[in-house]
């Protein structure tokens, strides 16, 4: 939802007579592609004057000869209703697995505050005027690391490529959604390098991976900064994704950590709401997510909370609840499988802390190496 965010972004001001160019990496290949646009937090319809998609070259530049005009129900322009979503028509564009693709939106009118994903860890570029078909980068003179309106890129196969769901549909049902907070979103990874644990998981398994992490997100409470609670967004971000067979759930450290941070001098203004949360409440929410996944025939994989001593989330209550939650994930047998991030990333001499080799400086998030270790642990839990 529109906010100032951790780094400068354009969500509150929105756009007017501007082109917005966004780069994402596809975790599956194919020859048919479409996009999804979201106006979930818009208070008025969003008018898309035009849109293109192309293979990424470098930065804001795209590969010559690869620019494709996107249509929506056969038209070049579209309106996304307030609080709604829109899916483009499928268009032909051959894309290799793990290749980056660039989506450009031209917004001729004034949008108002923009629905966005704050921490994309990839550059998004802005140009004045209509530059949706440019292959060069020179018009794109400003950038942020957030994504705007773009909620998904779907890569599939044409009928001639034996798609399981016909033209434009995902090939097969082997996709994985990784669902969680900033640990899934990739905080602490190197920007512009695709080193989140979801990226490494796609590389290790060869399966399509959808990252449904939102930095700061809570399991039990909505947040003006960090979006809808996990139990509320699970349908949109997991159940409604095409071609999915497995969901990996890693979430809860913010629910138990915000209240600890609130007791410190000058706590972050964004750590709200910050009620004291019990393991019983979190376990009830996990059961709700497991049931929802099973209702759709999905495999639900639980992930233990990572060590976080030394971070602003740590304290006596958070430590106790974290241990109780992790014990339940390991021993209750209610998830179809579990991955033990707690043990995989713990410091050998102090298991309540992240191993320094795997830790970002805040003692809460992994670094690039730590995210790679997480991906390896998930791959093994899934039998790869």
Mean pLDDT, residues 111-125 taken together: 94
- For residue 163, tell me if it sits in a domain: no
Mean pLDDT, residues 84-102 taken together: 97
- For residue 94, tell me if it sits in a domain: yes
- For residue 236, tell me if it sits in a domain: yes
Distances (CA, A) of 60 to 22, 100, 125, 187, 335: 8, 12, 7, 23, 42
Segments forming the whole domain that contains residue 363:
175-381
Into how many domains does the chain fold? 2
pLDDT value, residue 6? 62
**Portion of the chain with pLDDT greater than 90, in percent:** 90
Among the candidates 111, 133, 158, a domain finishes at: 158
pLDDT value, residue 161? 43
pLDDT value, residue 8? 74
Q: Are residues 188 and 100 in the same domain?
A: no
Q: Are residues 53 and 194 in the same domain?
A: no
Q: How many Å apart are CA 281 and CA 371, to the nearest integer? A: 28
Average pLDDT of the chain is 94
Residue 328 has pLDDT above 80, yes or no: yes
pLDDT value, residue 7? 67
- Which among 119, 149, 117, 158 has a CA at the least distance from the CA of 36? 149
At 1, the pLDDT band (50, 70, 90 cuts) reads low
- For residue 1, tell me if it sits in a domain: no
pLDDT: which is higher, 285 or 166: 285
Q: Are residues 275 and 335 in the same domain?
A: yes
pLDDT value, residue 172? 61
Q: Are residues 376 and 270 in the same domain?
A: yes
- For residue 301, tell me if it sits in a domain: yes
At 267, the pLDDT band (50, 70, 90 cuts) reads confident
Distances (CA, A) of 96 to 33, 60, 165, 263, 283: 12, 19, 19, 49, 40
Residue 305 has pLDDT above 60, yes or no: yes
Residue 101 has pLDDT above 60, yes or no: yes
96-105, 156-165, 307-316: which range is least confident on average?
156-165
Do the Cβ atoms of 253 and 306 come closer than 8 Å?
yes
- For residue 165, tell me if it sits in a domain: no
Q: What is the CATH number of the domain that holds 353?
A: 3.40.50.1110
């Amino acid at each position: 939802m529109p906010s100032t965010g951790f780094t400068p972004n354009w969500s509150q001001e929105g756009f007017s007579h501007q082109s917005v160019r966004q780069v994402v990496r596809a975790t599956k290949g194919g020859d048919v592609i479409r996009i999804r646009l979201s106006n979930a937090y818009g208070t008025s319809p969003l008018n898309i004057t035009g849109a293109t998609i192309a293979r990424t070259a470098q930065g804001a530049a795209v590969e010559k000869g690869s620019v494709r005009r996107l249509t929506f129900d056969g038209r070049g322009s579209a309106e996304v209703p307030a609080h709604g979503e829109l899916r483009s028509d499928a268009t032909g564009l051959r894309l290799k697995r793990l290749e980056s693709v660039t989506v450009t939106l031209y917004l001729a009118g004034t949008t108002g505050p923009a629905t966005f994903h704050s921490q994309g860890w990839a550059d998004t570029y802005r140009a004045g005027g209509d530059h949706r078909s440019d292959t060069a980068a020179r018009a794109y003179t400003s950038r942020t690391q957030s994504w705007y309106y773009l909620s998904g890129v779907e890569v599939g196969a044409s009928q001639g490529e034996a798609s399981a769901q016909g033209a434009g549909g995902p090939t097969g049902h082997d996709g994985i959604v990784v669902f969680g907070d900033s640990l899934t979103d990739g905080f602490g990874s190197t920007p512009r390098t695709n080193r989140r644990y979801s990226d490494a998981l796609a590389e290790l398994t060869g399966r399509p991976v959808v990252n449904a992490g939102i930095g700061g997100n809570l399991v039990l409470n909505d947040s003006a900064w960090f979006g809808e609670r996990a139990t509320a967004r699970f349908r949109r971000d997991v159940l409604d994704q095409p071609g999915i067979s497995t969901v990996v759930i890693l979430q809860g450290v913010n629910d138990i950590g915000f209240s600890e941070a609130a007791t410190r001098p000058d706590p972050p203004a964004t750590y709200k709401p910050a009620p004291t949360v019990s393991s019983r409440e979190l376990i009830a929410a996990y059961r709700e997510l497991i049931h929802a996944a099973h209702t759709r025939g999905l495999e639900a994989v639980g992930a233990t909370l990572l060590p976080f001593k030394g971070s602003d989330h740590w304290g006596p209550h958070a430590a106790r609840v974290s241990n109780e939650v992790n014990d339940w994930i390991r021993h209750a047998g209610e998830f179809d499988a579990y991955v033990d991030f707690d043990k995989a990333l713990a410091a050998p001499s102090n298991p309540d802390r992240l191993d320094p080799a795997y830790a970002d400086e805040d003692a809460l998030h992994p670094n690039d190496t730590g995210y790679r270790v997480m991906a390896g642990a998930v791959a093994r839990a899934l039998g790869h």
